[in-house]
Amino acid sequence: MFKTLSNRLLDVLYKVKSINYLTDGNIKDTLDEVRKILLEADVALPVVCSFIDQVKKEAIGKKLQKGLTPGQGLIKIVYHVLIKIMGGEYNHNLNLGNKLPAPILMVGLQGSGKTTSIIKLAKFLQQKQNKKVLVVSTDTFRPAGMEQLKSLALSASIDFFPSSLDFSPSKIAELAVNMASINFYEVLLVDTPGCIHIDQDNMSDIIKVHSVICPIETLFVVDAMIGQDSANVANLFNKSLPLTGIILTKLDGDSRGGAAFSMHQITGKPIKFVGVGESIHELELFSPVRLVKRILDMGDMLSLIEDIENKTNRIETERLINKLKKGDSFNFFDFMSQLKQMRSMGGISKIINKLPGFSHISNKIQENIDDKLLIRMESIINSMTIQERLYPKIIKGSRKQRIALGAGVYIQDVTKLLKQFDDMKKIMEKINDNSMLKMMELLRNNKLFSMFKKH
Ligand code: GDP
Ligand code: MG
């Protein structure tokens, strides 16, 4: 996320770190460079100016905290000011009010990620807050959009209110509210037609839906790839519909940072969630602190720990720990379950990105890591018999050949996997409590990288 911005900022700030005193001159040079970097990352000009002013105000003429070099002091100031311009230290949680159901309206341009975000948010509310959630589409312009919500809801076990093209968007919304309140749903998430342009015609249906459901939250969903302009589009929407918050999507892509940095200052609306991938779990509560820590490479252990808790299978991990404690040997069933857990966390490169001290150096490491390898490793294991998975030692000559043939790989790949299995086994047998966390530590210390290198 914001890799270029992050690397360049760190380069500049690290330079300051290595000198022992700050003068007006070198603060000026550094800040000039920081200004350039932010502008090139597409951060809106007024936001950049206000950022630089605040940093100057904090830095010049103030006594720096004891124990910090002036450079470290400056990094600390940059850290606090960046957080401030992105909305402050506190996360802006969803407001569900006390009406049942709590109606939440999602609006935004076509393709911004509304439908996907509704499903992600529904899952988030269901899993993290134990809410009974219903979703409905009022997108009568794009029947495919309705179908999309329906099929996503179905595969994620989220209740879906069937919409009919015979009704207007506002009628559908009204029916959904009735059905939700009769059936004690706690939250109703309403998808709307996406506009291509913002004009009165396009907006009128959405405004009608808004007045029928009286949403407690009207969330503006916007694609981070459109940069600082996203904040202007939000402002335009806000003129017709009072927005209560923003969901910034596609932060996993190569957006440069403009949207995330500019949104709060330009619109005055809080970013509540960010979309960081296409799959259902890839929605995070927006935390300026976490983002700035990531950008300034202070690590992101918090979200990594959340990932581990949410996406890995705790029961499976505990089973494995108990098994190893009892002295049972680690086998290919266990290896497979570890690979699956890593994959469900987004693969090795995503995990690395969140480790402290990594983003700065991880480009090179990442070039050497191939997440597809996880999938290939799984397919080799799938070609093994139960016997072979339980007793990997028996895998020799002709068995190797058969497995390679079954998985569509070379014999050398099977040999390599067996070696990786042995390495993992050695590591796993040393770990006897919270295995996933320790595994992260090992990843960080570079011990596991060699296992996932490309050929
Ligand atoms: P809508 O027209 O606003 O409903 O947009 P959709 O929900 O249909 O999303 C448009 C495309 O963006 C789809 O291909 C989604 O998979 C993709 N998308 C949505 N959110 C994200 C995200 O956070 N990251 C990535 N990489 N893709 C996303
Ligand atoms: Mg849609």
Per-residue model confidence as pLDDT tens digits over 407-420: 999 999 999 899 88
Ligand nearest to the CA of 142: 2
Q: Which of 424, 415, 412, 411 is nearest to 450 (CA)?
A: 424
Name the helix (H) or strand (E) containing 406: helix 397-407
Backbone CA torsion sign across 332, 333, 334, 336: positive
Which tens digit of pLDDT belongs to each residue from 237-259?
A: 898 899 999 999 998 877 778 88
* Residue nearest atom 20 of ligand 1, based on CA coordinates: 113
- Ligand 2 centroid vs 195 CA: distance in angstroms? 10
Q: How far apart are CA 196 and CA 69, in angstroms?
A: 51
Residue 111 Cα to ligand 1 midpoint, Å, equals 6
Q: Is the CB of 277 under 6 A from ligand 1?
A: yes
| pTM, entire model | 0.69
> Which parts of the chain have pLDDT scores under 70?
1, 17-22, 62-69, 72, 196-202, 297-328, 347-371, 427-455
Q: Identify the nearest ligand to the CA of 110 by its number.
A: 1
User: Which pLDDT does position 448 carry in this prediction?
Assistant: 46
Furthest CA-CA distance within the chain: 76
What are the φ/ψ torsions at residue 106 (nearest 5 degrees)?
-110, 125
Instruction: Beginning with the edge strand found earlier in the chain, give each strand of the sheet holding 187-191 in spatial order.
Output: 159-161, 133-137, 187-191, 102-107, 217-223, 245-249, 271-275, 283-285
Asked whether 79 and 288 are in contact (CB, 8 A), the reply is no
136 three-class SS: strand
Q: Find out whether the beta carbon of 279 lies less than 6 Å from any atom of ligand 1.
A: no
Answer whether 46's CB lies under 8 Å from 264's CB: no
State the pLDDT at residue 429.
65
Ligand 1 center–CA 416 separation, angstroms: 37
Helices (H) and strands (E) in the chain, counts: 21, 8
For the Cβ of 108 lying below 6 angstroms from any atom of ligand 1, the answer is yes
Q: Which whole-number Å values give the CA distances from 105 to 49, 132, 368, in the listed order?
A: 34, 17, 43
Q: Helix (H, G, I), strand (E, B), or coil: what is residue 107?
A: strand
Ligand 1 closest atom vs CA 112:
3
Structure tokens at 379: 């397919």
346 touches ligand 1 (CB under 6 Å) = no
Name the closest-CA residue to atom 26, ligand 1: 277
Q: Is residue 252 within 6 Å of ligand 1 at its C-beta?
A: yes
Q: Which residue, among 229, 256, 259, 257, has the nearest Cα to 247 in the 3D structure?
A: 259
The pLDDT of residue 165 is: 83
Residues 6+ apart with CB under 8 A from 230: 222, 223, 224, 248, 258, 259, 262, 263
pLDDT at 355: 57
- The CB of 254 under 6 Å from ligand 1? The reply is no
Q: Tokens standing for 267?
A: 């619109």
Distance between Cα 113 and ligand 1 center (Å) = 4
